[in-house]
Amino acid sequence: MSQHHAARLPLRQVWPDEFVERYRAAGYWRGETMPGFLRERARECADRTALVAGDARYTYAELWQEAERIGAGLLALGLTPGDRVLVQFGNVAEFIPVVCGLFRAGLIPVYTLPAHRLTELVHFARKAEASAYITAARHEGFDHRTLARALRAEVPAVANVIIAGDAEEFTSLAALAGDHQALPDDPDPQSVAFLQISGGSTGLSKLIPRTHDDYIYSFRASNEICGIDRESVYLVALPAAHNFPASSPGWLGALYAGARVVLSPGPGTAQAFPLIEAERVTCVGLVPPLALLWADAAKASSHDLSSLQVMQVGGAKLVPEAARRLKETLDCQLQQVFGMAEGLVNYTRLDDREEIVLQSQGRPISPDDEVLIVDDHGDLVPEGSAGHLLVRGPYTIRGYHNDDGANARSFTDDGFYRTGDVVQRLAGGYLVVQGRATDHINRAGEKISAEEIEDHLLAHPAVFDAAVVSIPDAYLGERSCAFVIARAERPRAVELKRWVRERGLAAFKVPDQVVFVDAFGTTAVGKVSRRELRAHLRERFVTEQQGGERNDPEPHDAVKQGESS
Ligand code: OOB
């Protein structure tokens, strides 16, 4: 293992000195660390409830004890501080103690989503050079031990597998134990605390290294904006590893505040409403389709939801009409959240005028978030016009991990991150998201790279060419549609969907719809970019649909359902 360590790429996230000085002087970066603040809360809020998940309840003192047990146990297995560890959990009781345990031991969590499958895990394991995988025996009927075996076969460097529940041949999470004296001192606050997964607009997901200083600033400042304090109760309804429910202000913000975190096993109202009533939840973050479902269900619900003060909506565009509907139905405040795992997060403020809350996706957290809106040539657009959003600031990364190509594309020479979003700026710095300049599908908040899915479709022997496109969808916001030119034998749509799923991908990446075409209908296919081609197909399809010629209609009934037949 030590040889492997010697060759491993270091994790770095570095801002130029002048920025480090500025962000420290402004009080954004305070030298706090994840284990440092968790230890402090364990002292200050020892007997207060930190976490509620299923039947499990942890006080702050218990959460810290559990973090120390897990951290020491992992070191006893031979892991050493700096090792990267894939973490894959649904919203279950083990997730937060495991992440806190990794922080405590100086190990680096790599957050994967519960929906990710072998292809994605192999990519993350290789890219992060992970040496362990921690997951649950089963989640929603899927056996993660089988996945662990396949992962180990493909990436033997993943030497340790730790399982919550029946571990079979692997290490049991419950049995982890080790010498607490072996736990390291708190890390450098400028060092990388974890790797987050990018939405990925070109090709495969990239790894996002976030530092203690920058991330803690983002959720500490979010707490202030979102009114999170010790009396708050934050409900995690979206997958807890997502950046939004993790840090905007999310469960990390809530733990930082000494508040209570409640995990809902799923985003549905049947699971969440009883929890809101029982725990007196004050704040929750949702994607737009869920928010609308919740608002409808709330009208007819017998549950007491009166504790809810703020419903945050983000991850995908909440159109003004939908925002208005929410506002009219909800007995709590609506807050729009427009953020990205790479950094920048915008919020409407709790005291903003109604028009702003309905029409905009908020303004940046920090006075030092430098937002530029530029045209295709990189020149600033006139104030109020739409353009590409670029950003630089105290919690926006300067580079992805180990990806020179992506870094060259995604960052300007002076360190601005190219978000890929097209926005317009209103007075007061409020941003209105107009669309995307890059081809990914935002399927109810889950980001899907068109290119990634096209590559998988092209691997099918009967597929001559494929273009994956986002189609406006009344419920999901966007759904994915694969336009396919078949070779001699046209496969069935269900077969192509099964093909994509069986390539080891998250279910949400399976195309919602497959449309066979004889040609892509552009005269000079060789000369147009894939992007132009996708835009052309989308436009033609949407026009045809409006003309009543609904091609291959396929219903979908659940946000998290990645397929329909
Ligand atoms: C959040 O993070 P990611 O990394 O999954 O996705 C970021 C992208 C943005 O670049 C934008 O294209 C889209 O998701 N997005 C929105 C949006 N919020 C995110 N588009 C329109 N309106 C919104 N309100 O999705 C994320 C991270 C932190 C907080 C909230 C969301």
Q: Is 346 in the pocket of ligand 1 (CB under 6 A)?
A: no
Q: Is 53 in the pocket of ligand 1 (CB under 6 A)?
A: no
Q: Could you give phi then psi for residue 562, rounded to 5 degrees?
A: -85, -5
Token pair belonging to 43: 């002292």
- Which atom, in ligand 1's list, is nearest to the CA of 336? 24
User: pLDDT value at position 370?
Assistant: 98
C-alpha 145/C-alpha 150 separation (Å) is 9
Q: Is 253 in the pocket of ligand 1 (CB under 6 A)?
A: no
Token pair belonging to 17: 């000195």
C-alpha 29/C-alpha 340 separation (Å) is 20
Q: Is 317 in the pocket of ligand 1 (CB under 6 A)?
A: yes
Instruction: State the residue for tokens 């995988």.
Output: 133
Q: Is the pLDDT of residue 555 over 90?
A: no
372 Cα: distance to centroid of ligand 1 (angstroms): 17
Token pair belonging to 60: 């702050």
How far is CA 308 from each of CA 115, 265, 331, 554, 562, rounded to the nearest angstrom?
A: 29, 18, 8, 36, 30
Higher pLDDT, 402 or 559: 402
Q: Are 558 and 475 within 8 A, CB to CB?
A: no
How far is CA 295 from each of CA 265, 289, 316, 421, rounded to the nearest angstrom?
A: 19, 10, 17, 28
User: pLDDT value at position 523?
Assistant: 58
C-alpha 162/C-alpha 175 separation (Å) is 10
Render 100-139 in DSSP notation, one character per residue.
HHHHHTT-EEEE--TT--HHHHHHHHHHHT--EEEEESEE
Q: Given CA atoms 340, 341, 344, 349 in this order, what sign does their dihedral have?
A: positive
Q: Is the pLDDT of residue 527 over 80?
A: no
- Which atom, in ligand 1's list, is nearest to the CA of 198? 4
C-alpha 496/C-alpha 321 separation (Å) is 36
Task: Name which of 15, 43, 45 is nearest 29 in CA terms.
Answer: 15
315 Cα: distance to centroid of ligand 1 (angstroms): 4
326 Cα: distance to centroid of ligand 1 (angstroms): 19
Q: Could you give phi then psi for residue 504, rounded to 5 degrees?
A: 85, 40
Q: Are 483 and 515 within 8 A, CB to CB?
A: yes
C-alpha 355/C-alpha 86 separation (Å) is 43
* 3-state secondary structure at position 312: strand
Q: Are 200 and 185 within 8 A, CB to CB?
A: no
Atom 5 in ligand 1: residue holding the nearest Cα: 199
Token pair belonging to 356: 């702003």
Residue 370's CB: how many other CB atoms inside 10 A? 17
Q: Domains in the chain and their CATH numbers?
A: 3-425 (3.40.50.12780), 441-551 (3.30.300.30)
Q: Is the pLDDT of residue 515 over 90?
A: yes
Mutation choice for ligand 1 from 365, 369, 447, 508, CB with most ligand atoms inside 8 A: 447
Higher pLDDT, 558 or 334: 334
User: pLDDT value at position 547?
Assistant: 74
C-alpha 273/C-alpha 264 separation (Å) is 9
- Which atom, in ligand 1's list, is nearest to the CA of 242? 5
- Return the DSSP state at 422: E
Q: Is 418 in the pocket of ligand 1 (CB under 6 A)?
A: no
Amino acid at 329: T
- Which atom, in ligand 1's list, is nearest to the CA of 420? 10
207 Cα: distance to centroid of ligand 1 (angstroms): 16
Each residue of 437-486: pLDDT tens digit? 888 999 999 999 999 999 999 999 999 999 999 999 999 999 999 999 99
DSSP helix, strand, coil percent of the chain (3-state; round to 5): 35, 25, 40
How far is CA 340 from each of CA 212, 244, 366, 479, rounded to the nearest angstrom?
A: 17, 8, 15, 20
* 3-state secondary structure at position 84: strand
Strand order across the beta sheet in which 283-286 lies:
56-59, 49-53, 260-263, 233-236, 283-286, 310-314, 333-340, 343-347, 363-364
Each residue of 536-547: pLDDT tens digit? 999 999 988 887
Q: Is 218 in the pocket of ligand 1 (CB under 6 A)?
A: no
**pLDDT classification of 528: cutoffs 50, 70, 90:** confident
Residue 464's CB: how many other CB atoms inside 10 A? 11
Q: Provide the mean pLDDT of the chain.
A: 94
Round the CA-based radius of gyration of the chain to a whole number and report it.
Answer: 23
Each residue of 82-135: pLDDT tens digit? 999 999 999 999 999 999 999 999 999 999 999 999 999 999 999 999 999 999
Token pair belonging to 78: 């031979």
Q: Is the peptide bond before 249 cis (omega within 30 degrees of 0)?
A: yes
Secondary element (H or E) of residue 470: strand 463-473
User: pLDDT value at position 202?
Assistant: 72
User: pLDDT value at position 521?
Assistant: 75
User: pLDDT value at position 201?
Assistant: 67
b/e map of 426-436 (b: 16 or more CB within 10 Å)? Answer: beeebbbbeeb
Q: Is 341 in the pocket of ligand 1 (CB under 6 A)?
A: yes
- Which atom, in ligand 1's list, is nearest to the CA of 361? 24
Token pair belonging to 48: 């207060």
Q: Is 337 in the pocket of ligand 1 (CB under 6 A)?
A: yes
- Which atom, in ligand 1's list, is nearest to the CA of 440? 12
Atom 8 in ligand 1: residue holding the nearest Cα: 340
User: pLDDT value at position 552?
Assistant: 46
Task: Name which of 370, 45, 14 is nearest 213 in CA terms.
Answer: 14
Each residue of 223-234: pLDDT tens digit? 999 999 999 999
Task: Name which of 482, 552, 535 is nearest 511 in CA terms.
Answer: 482
Residue 190's CB: how many other CB atoms inside 10 A? 18
Secondary element (H or E) of residue 204: none
C-alpha 411/C-alpha 459 separation (Å) is 31
Say if strands 138-139 and 260-263 run parallel, antiparallel, or are unpaired: unpaired
Q: Are 253 and 228 within 8 A, CB to CB?
A: yes
Residue 495's CB: how many other CB atoms inside 10 A? 12
- pTM for this entry: 0.95
Q: Is the pLDDT of residue 6 over 80?
A: no
Q: In angstroms, how far is the first alpha carbon of the chain from the final one?
A: 46
C-alpha 261/C-alpha 183 separation (Å) is 26
Mutation choice for ligand 1 from 196, 284, 340, CB with most ligand atoms inside 8 A: 340
Q: Is the pLDDT of residue 558 over 60?
A: no
Q: Is the pLDDT of residue 563 over 60?
A: no
244 Cα: distance to centroid of ligand 1 (angstroms): 8
Cα 530 from chain centroid?
26
526 Cα: distance to centroid of ligand 1 (angstroms): 33
